[in-house]
Amino acid sequence: MNDAGGLQINVKIDSTTLIRRLHNGEKRLAYAAVNAINQTAKRIQSRQRERVEDEFTVRRPEFIRRIIAKIKPFASVKQGRAYAEVFVDEKPRLLMSLFERGAERKPATPGARFVAEPVVGGPARPTFKDPVPTEFRMKRLNFDPMKSGKPRAAVASTHTFLIPEVGIFQRVPGSEPSAVYFFTRGRRLAARLDWLKTAEAIAEKWFPEYFEREVVKAIQYDKGRSI
């Protein structure tokens, strides 16, 4: 009863019984469920991508969007798959999945003891938002000498040199050496994404609605011919 004296009655109807009575009802019900699952997965994907952009300074948006919240496989009636998987790419050197549970960031190179962290304000990262230029990437700055004993071309062109267990520095003629990278033992990555909780909340809210929409669409398409 509201303030105006009216009475509000909420009625929930289970339409799955009705759709089963349609021609090929079981099949239509299966397609309704699969479509609802895939729509829910896409909504989870979209929200998780937004969450990353809310939480982090994203330097390479296109790349980040490709590795975050991939959907594979989708639900499929033909393949008998009543589920979809939304996941984060966990290829070597990709750290994003670690921010879900929290973990130690360790050196990506097998056998390495240090993590090279670019110095903000230095040539490898002029500002915090800047990606590392190609010529200053660690893969390019390979300080292992070639067979001739000469330094790599990238090292010579960038005027960089390495101090073991300290970092990589740049020596520019006429100025003091400046830090490019410091070597650290790594650091603890905080759990700050809550993707699982986000996915559960979205699924609980949206799957029933998407499913009901699909059921209604199936009934409308039949136009009552099977009832």
> Quick one: 198 and 97 in the same domain?
yes
The parent domain of residue 166 ranges over 106-186
| Closest of 154, 127, 125 to residue 139, by C-alpha | 154
| 220/108 Cα distance (integer angstroms) | 55
Stretches where the chain sits below pLDDT 70 are: 1-25, 92-93, 107-108, 110, 144-151, 222-227
Q: Is residue 87, in this structure, part of any structural domain at all?
A: yes
What is the structure's pLDDT at 169? 93
- Same domain for 82 and 194? yes
pLDDT confidence of residue 96: 77
Q: What per-residue confidence (pLDDT) applies to 156?
A: 83
* Partner residues linked to 81 by β-bridges: 76
User: Which residues lie closer than 8 Å to 151 by C-beta, 6 or more apart?
Assistant: 143, 145
- 150-163 confidence digits (pLDDT tens): 667 778 888 899 88
Residue-level pLDDT at 150:
62
* 208 Cβ neighbours under 8 A, 6+ residues apart: none
The pLDDT value recorded for residue 220 is 74
Q: Are 63 and 118 members of one domain?
A: no
The whole-number pLDDT of residue 181 equals 94
Q: What is the pLDDT of residue 3?
A: 46
Let me know whether 218 and 141 are in one domain: no
Residues 149 and 200 both lie in one domain: no
Question: Do 83 and 195 belong to one domain?
Answer: yes
In this predicted structure, what is the pLDDT of residue 13? 42
Tell me, yes or no, whether 97 and 194 share the same domain.
Answer: yes
pLDDT number for residue 218: 77
Q: What is the tens place of the pLDDT at every residue in 34-80? A: 999 999 999 999 999 888 888 887 778 888 888 888 899 999 999 99
Count of structural domains, the chain: 2
Does residue 46 fall inside a structural domain? yes
Residue 16: its pLDDT value, please?
Answer: 59
pTM for the model: 0.64
Tokens 């979809």 map to which residue?
84
Task: Tell me the C-alpha to C-alpha distance, in Å, between residue 192 and each of 45, 122, 196.
Answer: 17, 28, 11
User: Quick one: 20 and 94 in the same domain?
Assistant: yes
Identify whether residues 97 and 196 lie together within a single domain.
yes
Asked whether residue 7 is assigned to any structural domain, the reply reads no
pLDDT at residue 174, rounded to an integer: 82
